[in-house]
Amino acid sequence: MSTVVAAASSAPLTGKTLRVVIVDDAVVVRSLMTRWISAESDMRIVASLCSGRKALTFIERNTADVVVLDIDMPDLDGISTLRSLLQKRRGLVVIMVSTLTRRSAEISFRALSLGAADYIPKPDSAREVSTSLSFRRELIEKIRILGHNRQSRRRHAAVGAPGTAITPPPESYSARGRRSSVADETGAPARLRRFTNIAPRALLVGASTGGPQALMAIVEKLAPAIDCAPLLIAQHMPPTFTVVLAEHLSRVSGRRAHEADDGEPVRAGEIYVAPGGRHMRVVNDCDGVKIALGDDPPINFCRPAVDALFASAAAVWGAGSLAIILTGMGADGALGAEDIVAAGGSVIAQDEETSVVWGMPRSVAEAGLCSAVLPLDVIAPKIVHLFSGVRP
């Protein structure tokens, strides 16, 4: 049975309270998620439902900000439910929940392509769900950030006011001593750096929430750059999911993309994806640059971590490192970007307007580490231009 719980809490709903709907056919999992979310002061469970059909009925008659949607349900599967939800409520934040299986990974990628905001890997059993602190933390964090981000954009759209998104004119994208319209934490414009005069020897990309969609968009246009240098990617993803990501990247790029293997050589023309659950670094040895995978503790709660990849690349390629920070929550990549810049390399960040979450890109932009802050569709052409030998 389904349980609508809009009046479960005595705390009043405010304009900033997130209205959350849970859709999962497992009663224990629904109960756990409901309890966790209800404990947060800025969230309210407005419905806890056991099926996709009940979710569609509820959304037709009620308001919600975020829907947490299980992939596997008996009456209407997650993909079919997702399509109908987004048809009924344009802009609704839908977070998919799936187990760590090959099938679930494929379905999650399909969901992202259809408009899901993100996904969360779910432990296999209700017992494991109840004891997984990482699952609870990720659930709350993604609801909060994605939900409030939607509320903010909706408010700006309603009043017709511009948001804080950054869309500078094209001529201000590259740094020639000009000031960026990115504001630092004091409110003052952050200065963009000059690009290095050294041709890139390696392309490094870090991404998190919204990253798979962004990666697909830029990698399909990067063939000329990939032919000149290796592309190494640290995307916050669990095991199995990174295998599927690599396969998708291979198809859209026309170049070999794969989960990196420990000790394998790094060569131009190939795409290396950090395996889920392992840090990926590069090291120099007598035979050239090689991949070094590690099981050391998470960095910024992440493994793989962007900081680990960037820091090692700065040590190996120095000023020949070109780093890209795409959409994502948190600040992973900021310390590694410092290492890139200190070694003479360059950093490009995705802009706020085209980011699902402007956390990771913002952290490097506001730190003054970027040579450009660009919309997603401008990033690939800029990279190809840099690899062409024409210095900005």
**Segment 224-273, tens digit of pLDDT:** 999 999 999 999 999 999 999 999 999 999 999 999 999 999 999 999 99
Is the peptide bond prior to 169 cis by the omega test (within 30 degrees of 0)? Answer: no
State pTM to two decimals. 0.86
Task: Print the SS3 string covering 311-346.
Answer: HHHHHHHHHHEEEEECCECCCCCHHHHHHHHHCCCE
pLDDT tens, position by position, 149-163: 877 776 665 555 444
Strand partners, 98: 121
d(C-alpha 147, C-alpha 312), whole Å: 35
User: 18-159: what CATH class?
Assistant: alpha beta
Strand partners, 284: 289
Provide the annotated active-site residues: 208, 236, 332
Greatest Cα-to-Cα distance within the chain, rounded to the nearest angstrom: 67
Residue written as token pair 């960037």: 310
Distance of CA 72 to the CA centre of its chain: 23
The residue type of 19 is: R
Distance of CA 349 to the CA centre of its chain: 13
Residue written as token pair 């829907």: 67
Residue 13 above 60 pLDDT?
A: no
CA-to-CA dists, residue 295 to 137, 278, 299, angstroms = 21, 5, 11
Residue 169 above 50 pLDDT?
A: no
Compute the average pLDDT of residues 287-293. 96
- The angle formed by the CA atoms of residues 341, 171 and 152, to the nearest 5 degrees, is 80
Residue 305: CA atoms inside 13 Å, Cβ hemisphere, count?
A: 22
Domain 188-387 has CATH 3.40.50.180: yes
Residue 170 above 80 pLDDT?
A: no
d(C-alpha 136, C-alpha 116), whole Å: 19
pLDDT of res. 171: 32
C-alpha torsion sign, points 221, 225, 230, 235: negative
Q: Which has more pLDDT, 267 or 176?
A: 267
| Domains of the chain, residue spans | 18-159, 188-387
Using CB atoms within 10 Å of the CB of residue 297, give its burial: 0 to 12 exposed, 13 to 18 middle, 19+ buried: exposed
pLDDT of res. 139: 95
Report residue 285: phi and psi, to 5°. -135, -170
d(C-alpha 363, C-alpha 357), whole Å: 12
Q: Does residue 210 contact residue 328 with C-beta atoms inside 8 Å? A: yes
Compute the average pLDDT of residues 332-339. 97
d(C-alpha 262, C-alpha 268), whole Å: 17
Residue 165 above 80 pLDDT?
A: no
Q: What's the chain's average pLDDT?
A: 87
pLDDT of res. 14: 54
Fold match between domain 18-159 and domain 188-387: yes
Compute the average pLDDT of residues 179-190. 50
d(C-alpha 340, C-alpha 312), whole Å: 9
CA-to-CA dists, residue 365 to 23, 239, 304, angstroms = 37, 30, 22
pLDDT of res. 236: 96
pLDDT of res. 124: 79
